[in-house]
Structure 1
Amino acid sequence: MKRMALTVAAAIFMLSSVPAFAEMTQGQKDECLLASKNCTAQVDDIYKRMHKLDKEIKKGNRVYTPAELQKLRDKLQETQDMLKDMELGGGN
């Protein structure tokens, strides 16, 4: 009887922790964009990079510190400048 109760309690505990784990992974920082970490086999074109940076910036203070948000904004501006430079033909 005790074994059955412990098994049921363990199952309930495991099932209740799954949503918490899912919430944690959804709100995680994109370390690849922020600090060039965990970028295994991740190559983006310039438009995809700008979209990802904008998406991360929109997460705001609930995920990033103000310093990290500024770093993301700077990277977005740098990427936009790079695109503009490429469109104008390399700054001739």
Structure 2
Amino acid sequence: MKRAIMLVTAALLMTTSTGVFAEQTQADRNECLLLSRNCKDQVDDIYTRMQRLEREIQKGTRVYTPKELRQLQEKLAETQEMLKDMEKPGR
């Protein structure tokens, strides 16, 4: 009887901890960089933006879907291109 109770308790703990893990990875997403949401007074210079994008990309598929990772990579490429344009002589 005690063994059955322990097994049921362990099973419940495993199912609830899996949900918590999924919530943590969702919370780890940077919606401001990805979707331009939740950007409360967040103003970055171009170098900080590039660093933040690189950090988010490094989180990989444990936090982002492959489609979202492509979006972040595209935003990083756009940001790098903007920096190149600003650094061109004559600007």
Compute the TM-score of the two structures, normalised by the length of structure 1: 0.69
Percent of aligned positions with the same letter in both sequences? 62
Q: Find the residue that maps to 1:40 and give its secondary structure.
A: coil
**Structure 1: runs of 5+ lacking an equivalent:** 1-16
Match of 1:12 in 2: none
Pair 1:55-2:55 in alignment: yes
Tell me how many residue pairs correspond in the alignment. Answer: 72
Match of 1:88 in 2: 88
Match of 1:72 in 2: 72
Match of 1:43 in 2: 43
Root-mean-square deviation (CA), in Å?
2.4
Q: Find the residue that maps to 2:28 and give its secondary structure.
A: coil
Measured after TM superposition, the shift of residue 25 of structure 1 is 6.9
Return the alpha-carbon distance in structure 2 between the equivalents of residues 72 and 79 of structure 1: 10
Equivalent pair of 2:25/2:63 in contact (CA under 8 Å): no
Measured after TM superposition, the shift of residue 69 of structure 1 is 0.1
**Structure 2: runs of 5+ lacking an equivalent:** 1-16
In structure 1, what residue type is equivalent to 2:75?
Answer: K
| Displaced runs of 4 or more, over 3 A | none
In structure 1, what residue type is equivalent to 2:51?
Answer: H
